[in-house]
Amino acid sequence: MITRRKALFQLAGGIGGVALSDMLLREGLLAADGPSKPGENLPLGMISREPHFQPRAKAMISMFMHGGPSHVDLFDPKPDLQKNHGKEYTGNVTYSFVGRANKKLMASPFKFSRHGKSGTELSELLPHTAMIADDICVIRSMHTGHNGHEVSIRFFHGGIAGVLGRPTMGSWLTYALGNESKNLPSYMVLSDEGGLPVDGTNNWSSGFMPAYYQGTVLRPREPRILNLEPPKEVQGVSQQRNLELLKQLNKNHSMLHPREAELESRISSYELAASMQDSAREAFDISSEPKHIRQLYGIDDAETRSYGTRCLIARRLVERGVRFVQLFLSGQPWDNHNTITKSLSNICRKTDQPAAALVMDLKQRGLLDTTLVHFGGEIGRLPVVEGDFGEKAGRDHNGQGFSIWLAGGGIKPGITYGETDEVGHRAAVNVVNPNDFQATIMHLFGLDHSKMVYFHNGQAQVLTAGKPARVVKEILC
Amino acid sequence: MLPTFKILIFALVLGTETPQRLTFEEDIRPIFKAYCFDCHGATEKPKGSLDLRLKKFAQKGGKSGISLKENAPEESHLLQRIKSGEMPPSEKKVPAEKIALITKWIKDGAPTLRVEPDNLPPGIGITEEERNYWFFKPLLEPKVPDLTLDQKKVAPLDSFILARLQQKSLRFNPEADKRTLIRRAYLDLTGLPPTFDQVERFEKNTAPNAFEALVDELLASPAYGERWARHWLDVAGYADTEGDSPNDSLRPHLYKYRDYVIRSLNSDKPFNQFIIEQLAGDELAPKPWDELSLEQRELLAATGFLRCGPDITAGGGAIAEAEQTFTESIKIISSGLLGLSVGCAQCHDHRYDPISQVDYFRFRAIFEPAFNPSKWRKPAERTAALMTKPDREKSAQIEKVAQELASKLQAETANTIKVIFEKELQKIPADLHEPVRKAFETPETKRTPEQKKLFEKYPKINVRAGIIDQYDPKAMAELKKAQATIDAKRAEKPKEDFYAIMSEVPSKIPATKLFYRGDYRQPLQEIIPGDLSITTIHEQKPWDCPTDNKGESSGRRLAFAQHLTSGKHAQFNRTMANRIWVYHFGQGIVETPGEFGKLGTLPSQPELLDWLALQLPKNNWSLKAFHKIIMTSATYRQSSVHRPEQDAVDITNQLYGRFPLRRLEAESIRDSILKVNNRLDETLFGSAISLKEDIAGVMHYPDNTPRKTIYMQVRRHKPSAFLLTFDGPSLSPNCDKRTPSAGTPQALALMNSEFIRNESNHLATLILKNQTNDTTTLIRKAWQIVYQRLPNSNEITLASNFLNESKATYSATKSKDPSQMAWTDLCQQLLASNEFIYLE
């Protein structure tokens, strides 16, 4: 039986794990799945598994914001920065763009105000996020210690700054907990039709884990999932006719091989595949969503259509048992080195409403309690100006201090946590690094990050890479 | 509780019938060995002075008193401590059914099979039972059952099978029809289907030796070597990447080993020679290696076998990574060639098989001088260069010119930096110009704190080569142009080419030391090289491995390879015979081809396996002769159809009353589709063809390269989606057996993948090229191409109705070419159908 199971978990690669759990369940292998011995990996595959302790979150939607959203212009108001506009910063700054380096502080050109009962201060660029102020927890003390994009992105995804080839968060959650969904992969990536984010497909790599733990990309164009749909022309009646013919051919063949169970099960695998194809397609199709939902996400507005659609699909996926959905934008629209007043406003207009809509929608459906929502980038931006003041002014990279927000899935709502220094340069109080972030997320899923081990090349590996990492208990409810 | 009820429960707990009489040697010692010997047997001073290697010792007990009392489980301390979970102290506890066995054994008076000695030498040793485990017994000519069938004497292979069938009142299936037979032989030996003409010719050939002649013909085709090389590459764990993290670095040269395997198989190189070259080709290739002869090249390429495992030092790393790489290779060698997983004996005596930790290190010592983790060489340092002397000279000349250009560029870069710096300097207060200039000219590591402060205050003056474009993009473009010229010059060098090889560096042989708990940081006593004790236990004189250095190389691997292929090495011979059987039948005589020990399965046909194991040396190690023995047997030639009477007693076909039907391997599916489409590029050999990564990070075979799949890059971290979907080898570190499955991902790939749609389109074009409007003719053509047979009238009706309806749909939706579309759909269903992707 072991070899049979071994066979089954090799299946998924082609379409990223679709249907594996279902097959395993149907074959009654779930029960055969015992605890792993020390020094051994969990039985590989997509079998749904119990966490270490009672979880708070069942699913997570991560809106990853490549480029470094400017926290001092969005989430972290700094009166001292406003006061000292144009003055020389006395602290030590590491620049990425030395050629445009400038030590003069730049006040935020945007107004902050308090919102909701919690009174969380947010920038005028985030009018929709302001409406969910009482649902989110803003962490203002994020810190990677590295200014580079890729370095910090990899820190967030894989646990070690700058290092590639490690499994990403979704891979770890899938490895640890298996797949709940009957027809969809457990780890899905919603990419931007404009192209790949910075660091490309590394963003959803399974690293040293088998390839079926890799994030399955819901492509912006058809086929939405590899092999999940035939070419457009063949969809519908033609494909049905094709499958009918194939079934007939296979049945004729089977008649010559009575009682050959494998041939029979292959025939039924096509029926299962066809039904999976239909239900997956249904999951990605938002045309059945009512008008008020489309409005909520801004689907009919040119500016918010793209990101709104992905946020809405993310909700539909979570409803259908997908464990981890990560949304990406093309390139790195938050990397506002120039004309920050304009470029930051632009990207906020595209994302603010859909992101807030997602939280509101999950909440009204009673899903927010068990769905962790994350909004944030890999770094923030410097309080000093990049280049010269004026229309073209921007901000350079800052991995020393920045903000993200979390909501739902066991996160305390309506709070802010941690602080940066007076001007927003460095995380100063209750510093949270990506390993702490990862440990906290694992905790919400009922997992001890230090005990969820994958053995690779003879070494025990954990998401947090064996580094000190703390569960940020203060933000849990 | 009624006594019978008790027994019933007992039997339920055990899951099998309870043995009549449990004995220490047969039933209890193996449990103690697995769970207790680490502390109470393997070490010279057992913990708590309790030694469990003999019943006698257990009775004597240890510091905690009497441990075992006959007939009294309740008073047997050891049982109580196991039951309470106190022992063993590790997380791995003795399961309930084993505790039940110990209890019953004690209750029955704790019998032993034999009178126990009073003393034992230190160590676990090898017991009588272990010596007599089937796999460790010497290889003796089994008695061939003397059977006749239809007045003809049955060939030896068949008589072993038939004898067991007859015991169950079964018989062989009738011989498969000729079309099935020729397809079976083609797919088995070449991985490709025959053509319709070939089938027809074979069907018409009524000569009694027609099938034999066909087998000969196929064995002589180059496709045989490619097909069977792929099997061997699974065993070797062959990959075109190193498997290091994070890069999974490319192994650009190992393909020459793959080609060596193909050539060797095609030339029917004696299998012993094949093994010897792979383990010790370098020791056979006379040095020097600066102008490699063809013979030297072949021998060095062969050693690529020892380079197939994952080499995680490719991406950096130190001794730990080197040790791990060595360990993985030992796993491949032992499971691949000896049919034993010795890996767990690295840390402690094997818990199930008689392989001690000392044995593990004896085995390791054979390979220590080559792998040598203490003076590790990374992949790039384990090569033999193919360059000739004139090439080297030419290369040196070009490099000289390139160097001159490079120093010019360096000067220009420095000058550009200087110019930018001076410009930036003008933007800061004049009184600082001098100190800033001085700071700038001071190397970064030697700057004083005051100088560093200056840079912090005026970050823009810290101009460096890498950021020139942030100040002066034009100047940067000029510099880049100059760099491109240098690169172009260097590109003129004769192409360097290498073999990835295993060899030894002539020097003092590194000592092999036993590592405490397998930890290389805790070396203990030195160990001399040797085979596993159990493999030579029945020999008069155990094999001696050379220990001193007699020249360029230690000679250990060569001596080992010769010992292994002496013809008498029972484990090697059995392992190899079983492997070949697995590839012919899709199922093994032993179902775990890399694990013949206690953790593996027992042979379904032990006598046959031994007979086969002896056929290899008897036929001068000719693999082709071996294939022929198997393929011309009645066992091989019988039909694959199930019969109720056989299913009733032997549904899993352990007795081989039918030929087992199986799905084609991933490579064979792809190659067969390309072949029937007349698109397969049958060029032999060459460097691995790169995979294409798509936007989602999934790897694919390049569509415009219809080479055979064996020439496609094999990646450890990210294999091609096709291979993953169709049960390609899981390289961890090698693949002893592929396990075919039938799941929805395969269905979806055959329904929707770009590959199947493109190939079906090609096939439709091929068929429609026939200048006729007669659909029936075309349908017949399609059946001939895909199935190598003609369609019956029902099939013609089915297909023509399908085509009509399909064309109507595509016309209605205004498709560009409804006929082409309909035919593409039809072809796709034929290519996806079971009749095409199964070997019957």
Check CB contact of A5 with chain B, cutoff 8 Å.
no
Where is average pLDDT lowest: A409-413, B111-115, B335-339, B511-515? B111-115
Q: B221-230 b/e with 16+ CB inside 10 Å = b?
A: bebbbbbbbb
| C-alpha span between B80 and B103 (Å, rounded) | 10
Comparing CB atoms, the residue among A196, A242, A265 nearest residue B829 is A242
Confidence band, pLDDT 50/70/90 cuts, at residue A11: very low
Q: Is the pLDDT of residue A24 over 50?
A: no
Comparing CB atoms, the residue among B312, B328, B825 nearest residue A238 is B825
Comparing CA positions, the residue from B180, B194, B189 lying closest to residue B215 is: B189
CB contact under 8 A, B834 and A250: yes
Comparing CA positions, the residue from A64, A177, A76 lying closest to residue A125 is: A76
The confidence score (pLDDT) of residue B730 equals 78
Cα–Cα distance list, B709 to A214, B249, B257, B549, B720 (Å): 24, 21, 16, 43, 11
The confidence score (pLDDT) of residue A163 equals 82
Comparing CB atoms, the residue among A37, A248, A270 nearest residue B92 is A37
Does B247 or B837 have the greater pLDDT score? B837
Confidence band, pLDDT 50/70/90 cuts, at residue A45: low
What tokens were used for B654?
């352990």
Rounded to two decimals, what is the model's pTM? 0.77
% of chain A surpassing 70 pLDDT: 89
Confidence band, pLDDT 50/70/90 cuts, at residue B19: low
**pLDDT 10s digits, A179-209:** 888 778 889 999 888 778 888 878 988 888 8
Comparing CB atoms, the residue among B246, B661, B730 nearest residue A257 is B661
Rounded to the nearest angstrom, the minimum Cα separation between A365 and chain B is 31
| C-alpha span between B636 and A218 (Å, rounded) | 47
What tokens were used for A345?
């406003």
What tokens were used for A139?
């962490």
What tokens were used for B496?
């360097």
Check CB contact of A30 with chain B, cutoff 8 Å.
no
Strands B662-663 and B523-527: unpaired
Q: What phi and psi values does residue B124 have, to the nearest 5 degrees?
A: -75, -30
Q: Quick one: closest CA in B to A243, which residue?
A: B829
B424-430 contacts, C-beta under 8 A, 24 or more apart: B424/B460, B424/B461, B424/B463, B424/B471, B425/B461, B427/B460, B428/B458, B428/B461
Q: Is the pLDDT of residue A242 over 90?
A: yes
Check CB contact of A14 with chain B, cutoff 8 Å.
yes
Cβ-based contacts of B641 with chain A (< 8 Å): 256-258
What single-letter DSSP state applies at residue B699? E
CB contact under 8 A, B834 and A253: yes
Confidence band, pLDDT 50/70/90 cuts, at residue B12: very low
Rounded to the nearest angstrom, the minimum Cα separation between A122 and chain B is 32
Give the pLDDT mean for A36-64: 77
Element (H, E) at B663: strand B662-663
Where is average pLDDT lowest: A288-292, B98-102, B366-370? B98-102
Give the pLDDT mean for B398-425: 91
CB contact under 8 A, B91 and A241: no
**pLDDT 10s digits, B30-50:** 888 888 888 888 777 888 888
Q: Is the pLDDT of residue B540 over 60?
A: yes
The confidence score (pLDDT) of residue A10 equals 34
The confidence score (pLDDT) of residue B7 equals 37
Comparing CA positions, the residue from B232, B286, B223 lying closest to residue B257 is: B232
Mutate to test the interface with B, among A20, A100, A245 (most CBs of B within 10 A): A245
CB contact under 8 A, B745 and A18: yes
What tokens were used for A169?
């968060």
Q: Which residues contact B40 (CB under 8 A, 6 or more apart)?
A: B32, B46, B47, B48, B50, B51, B52, B62
The confidence score (pLDDT) of residue B772 equals 86
Give the pLDDT mean for A448-465: 86
The 3-state secondary structure of B144-190, one letter per residue: CCCCEECCEECCHHHHHHHHHHHHCCCCCCCECCHHHHHHHHHHHHH
| C-alpha span between B76 and B79 (Å, rounded) | 6
| C-alpha span between A440 and B422 (Å, rounded) | 51
The confidence score (pLDDT) of residue B783 equals 97
Check CB contact of A394 with chain B, cutoff 8 Å.
no
CB contact under 8 A, A189 and B696: yes
Which amino acid belongs to residue B25? Answer: E
The 3-state DSSP composition of chain B as helix, strand, coil percent (nearest 5) reads: 55, 5, 40
The confidence score (pLDDT) of residue A8 equals 38
| C-alpha span between B544 and B546 (Å, rounded) | 6
Give the pLDDT mean for A417-444: 97
- Tell me how long chain B is: 840
State whether ipTM is beyond 0.95: no
The 3-state secondary structure of B68-134, one letter per residue: CCCCCHHHCHHHHHHHCCCCCCCCCCCCHHHHHHHHHHHHCCCCCCCCCCCCCCCCCCCCHHHHCCH
Residue A98: CA atoms inside 13 Å, Cβ hemisphere, count? Answer: 20
| C-alpha span between A380 and A67 (Å, rounded) | 8
Comparing CB atoms, the residue among B693, B723, B757 nearest residue A201 is B693
The confidence score (pLDDT) of residue A264 equals 85
Where is average pLDDT lowest: A180-184, A220-224, B184-188, B380-384? A220-224
Check CB contact of A179 with chain B, cutoff 8 Å.
no
Check CB contact of A114 with chain B, cutoff 8 Å.
no
The confidence score (pLDDT) of residue A22 equals 36
The confidence score (pLDDT) of residue A416 equals 97
Rounded to the nearest angstrom, the minimum Cα separation between B366 and chain A is 22
The 3-state secondary structure of chain A, one letter per residue: CHHHHHHHCCCHHHHCCCCHHHHHHHCCCCCCCCCCCCCCCCCCCCCCCCCCCCCCCCEEEEEECCCCCCHHHHCCCCHHHHHCCCCECCCCCCCCCHHHCCCEECCCCCCEEEECCCCEEEECCCHHHHHCCCCEEEEEEECCCCCCHHHHHHHHHHCCCCCCCCCCHHHHHHHHHCCCCCCCCCEEEECECCECECCHHHHHCCCCCCHHHCCEEECCCCCCCCCCCCCHHHCCHHHHHHHHHHHHHHHHHHHCCCCCHHHHHHHHHHHHHHHHHHHHHHHHCCCCCCHHHHHHHCCCCHHHHHHHHHHHHHHHHHHCCCCEEEECCCECCCCCCCCHHHHHHHHHHHHHHHHHHHHHHHHHCCCCCCEEEEEECCCEECCECECCCCCCCECCEECCCEEEEEECCCECCCEEECEECCCCCCEEECCECHHHHHHHHHHHCCCCCCCCCEEECCEEECCCCCCCCCCCHHHEC
The confidence score (pLDDT) of residue B391 equals 86
**pLDDT 10s digits, B248-301:** 899 999 999 999 999 999 999 999 999 999 999 999 998 889 889 999 999 999
Q: Is the pLDDT of residue B134 over 70?
A: yes
Where is average pLDDT lowest: A32-46, A252-266, A292-306? A32-46
CB contact under 8 A, B457 and A241: no
Comparing CA positions, the residue from B514, B507, B549 lying closest to residue B528 is: B514
Mutate to test the interface with B, among A1, A18, A22, A98 (most CBs of B within 10 A): A98
CB contact under 8 A, A245 and B802: yes
Where is average pLDDT lowest: A205-214, A284-293, B779-788? A205-214
**pLDDT 10s digits, A81-106:** 999 999 999 888 888 888 788 999 99
DSSP B227-263: HHHHHHHHHHT--SB---TTT--B-SSTHHHHHHHHH
CB contact under 8 A, A229 and B246: no
Strands A371-376 and A402-407: antiparallel
Mutate to test the interface with A, among B424, B751, B798 (most CBs of A within 10 A): B751
Q: Is the pLDDT of residue B447 over 80?
A: yes
Give the pLDDT mean for A401-428: 96
Most confident among A2-6, B172-176, B448-452 (mean pLDDT): B172-176
CB contact under 8 A, A166 and B640: no
% of chain B surpassing 90 pLDDT: 57
What single-letter DSSP state applies at residue B514? E
Where is average pLDDT lowest: A159-163, B113-117, B513-517, B786-790? B113-117
Rounded to the nearest angstrom, the minimum Cα separation between B21 and chain A is 29
Comparing CB atoms, the residue among A163, A259, A262 nearest residue B647 is A259
Give the pLDDT mean for B759-777: 93
A59-221+286-475 carries CATH number 1.25.40: no
CB contact under 8 A, B246 and A163: yes
Cβ-based contacts of B810 with chain A (< 8 Å): 233, 238
**pLDDT 10s digits, B648-676:** 888 889 999 999 999 999 999 999 999 99
